[in-house]
Structure 1
């Protein structure tokens, strides 16, 4: 398969179980955390098993722009050498639509003595960041974001401050992770506390804490929804990135829809990432639960929703309001594209998504209708709806290259399993 992807792929249903060995790429979430922490550590860190994708490339480039040496000796390794302090870049940091990199760096660059602008593409400029900016200002950091979204201008003073800060994390746990990772560079202890009880995908904060501790941070996780971080800085270390659980959801979806067996080389229960919770749900197909709470496995919801289209009974997805502020409004996008497969297949109800499952679609491989799936520049929409093409004929995925954000080899993986992909205009 060519490295240059066509404008679209039409998927031919394989009409057989898909089985084989597939190694998912490294975790995007963990890779970008490890890259930043290595850049904030004094010395050289070796990151193995890492993801090389659009999002992690943008993070690595931004770190290089701030004086960090980031080498790539092979396809899954980063060597990061730093003094433990970032330097003011010569130009605004451009981070595309990489939410982790944008949020994490918005906090981290406050430790620079100088002015930094953190910006992204037109989609990133629609994604909220005001709660993080408000928290930075509460720490005495001069941060401004006129629209409440990027670009953000930060005038750093070389320290992250000290004291207690409250953060509204109802829209994204990434705001909490951003504050926590910068906090060891404070001038004194910093307490990060939730403003209210709501937090998007708490499991990703646990990923952050584990990575911070691996790089020498001292963090106390308190039962009252707060964290106390000591001003220890970070120390360079060797760090291994586990495979991406969000990517694994597509493989579990392939198993469910085709009755095959994919060997990932790692058991679902050994993942530390929240999206691994999708595996036991998908394993219940075609009798998945009538109500699925997606609040703690948000990136897995599009995968489960597409599989739910073929379930024996309807499925309601709850706890997913945060999906409206991802790379696109994923609730609306999933509903729109499911209805493109079959009118009336899905609907929005407030911030819930209802999939009106139709098991007859499992037998629709012979149909000649054409469903051209809009992907909204969103990698997860593209990868999830490709699964529908394993059972339904005529499914065409537009802009397949968008999967390069987190899974550059996605289409090669499908092809290697025996899925016929036909370039389309």
Structure 2
């Protein structure tokens, strides 16, 4: 398919019904790829996501001596010696935050120099706290701007028995350190500091995956995990569908009064964003305040859905959305107010959506700047299901996590006016 500069969505005017399978979980796929790369032997990862983010991770692991085969669209076969080798050149990870943070920590287990880098967007995303945590362990690590590129000079080992990290900054930092810790020389306590703890559900995803690959990790207090120096062993691992991707389909179902079968009940997802299902199912009676701290990637979906709610909605606990692929709080308020002036406003780090159910059925020309952010593109597509004139700029940015997104919507009955190239 040719690259498109924009895509205008034509409201279907009918319920969306049918079967639509979300791709595999990005969060779990990238955890499993790294753990398989750190495990001696052959691991088969099935149900995996093949997207920009996970392919960057796979290519980085290949550059560090791991053999990765891809026999089909949802499988990785990973064969490793259990030791990552210094890459010949910097690891380029695009704007893949999970891969960047995870590999920055894992590089501490490499005997040699690793440079972790990304695109212009990634070079604006903070990583200083993770670098500081590595340096506290005696590992030489430098990020001159506080963002990538990061240079790590590892010795193949570390002997610390405690790692402290601010848990409110990003759960990805915590997960990165937990996965690295199993390669230490003795038991390591990973302790969260600060007043706030980030998305704990993602930390649970990490520890579950670690145990599947043979690690011993135990939560010893509300803010501490003990990781034994077990290393990892190869295993076969099934990856569940992506809950963040599922939120768009759940929202499309309630917005249009349809019936979309995802193949997996919402109650069977283990990922934090699955919590959004309970809220989505209440539409058009969403609560007046939604705390997005524990389901951050679902906030764009909920915010666009809130535009059609019966009453206004304030989103709190979303300050971290400002340092995602873009400033998502700003992108959401800008896009919403592009549909109708004042529909989305910022108050500090909160987002207030001035819901207006009468928007449905109107013709409101709005060109949505996605800021190259897949979640902004996919969430604002939902507005196009009810409002004529919604045009998504840079629609192909969805390849980051859901390459088939536009085809999946089309399979449910959505059509497009391709006004771009």
Of 123, 126, 129, which residue of structure 1 is paired with 2:127? 129
CA contact (8 A) 1:321 1:352 kept: yes
Task: Please name the residue that 2:329 is paired with.
Answer: 331
Q: Distance in 2 between matches of 1:5 and 1:389?
A: 20
Structure 2 residue aligned with 1:420, among 388, 401, 415?
A: 415
Residue aligning to 2:294: 296
What SS does structure 2 have at the residue aligned with 1:363?
coil
Partners of 2:413 and 2:372 lie apart in 1 by 26
Tell me, yes or no, if the aligned pair for 2:361 and 2:388 is still in contact at 8 Å: no
Residues 21-55 of structure 1 deviation map (CA, whole Å, 9 limit, x = unaligned) = 01110000000000000000000000000000000
Cα distance in 2 for partners of 1:126, 1:281 equals: 32
User: Per-residue deviation at 1:253?
Assistant: 0.7
Work out which of the residue numbers 157, 164, 167 in structure 1 matches 2:165.
167
Between the aligned partners of 2:188 and 2:58, the Cα distance in structure 1 is 27
Pairing of 1:278-297 with structure 2 (within 5 A): 278-297=276-295
State which of 370, 378, 381 in structure 2 corresponds to 1:383: 378
* C-alpha separation in 2, matches of 1:175 and 1:222: 19
Find the counterpart in structure 2 of residue 38 from structure 1: 36
Q: Does 1:138 align with 2:133?
A: no
1:220-369 equivalence runs, <5 A: 220-364=218-362, 367=363, 369=364
Matches of 1:333 and 1:164, distance apart in 2: 38
Per the alignment, residue 69 of structure 1 pairs with 67
**Residue aligned with 1:424, SS:** coil
Alpha-carbon distance in structure 2 between the residues aligned to 1:120 and 1:410: 24
Which whole-Å CA distance do the structure 1 matches of 2:114 and 2:223 have between them? 31
What is the CA-CA distance between 1:424 and the residue it aligns to?
Answer: 1.1
| Cα distance in 2, alignment partners of residues 339 and 359 from structure 1 | 15
Match for residue 391 of structure 2? 396
TM-score, with structure 2 as normaliser: 0.99
| Structure 1 contact 246–276 (Cα < 8 Å) conserved | yes
Return the offset for 1:222. Answer: 1.5
User: Is it true that 1:13 corresponds to 2:11 in the alignment?
Assistant: yes
Contact 1:209 1:219 in 2 (8 A): yes
User: Structure 1 residue aligned with 2:216, among 200, 218, 223?
Assistant: 218
CA–CA separation in structure 2 for the residues paired with 1:182 and 1:89: 18
Name the residue aligned to 2:25: 27
- Secondary structure, in 3 states, of the residue corresponding to 2:88? coil
**2:400 counterpart (400, 405, 416):** 405
Shift of 1:197: 3.7
Matched residue count: 420
Q: Structure 2: how far apart are the matches of 1:40 and 1:375?
A: 35
Pairwise CA distance, 1:187: 1.1
Asked if structure 1 preserves the Cα contact closer than 8 Å seen for 2:11 and 2:384, the reply is yes
Tell me how far apart the structure 1 counterparts of residues 159 and 394 of structure 2 sit (CA, whole Å). Answer: 44
Which whole-Å CA distance do the structure 2 matches of 1:148 and 1:62 have between them? 22
CA-atom RMSD, angstroms?
A: 0.8
Instruction: Name whichever of 15-24 and 3-12 sits farther off.
Output: 3-12
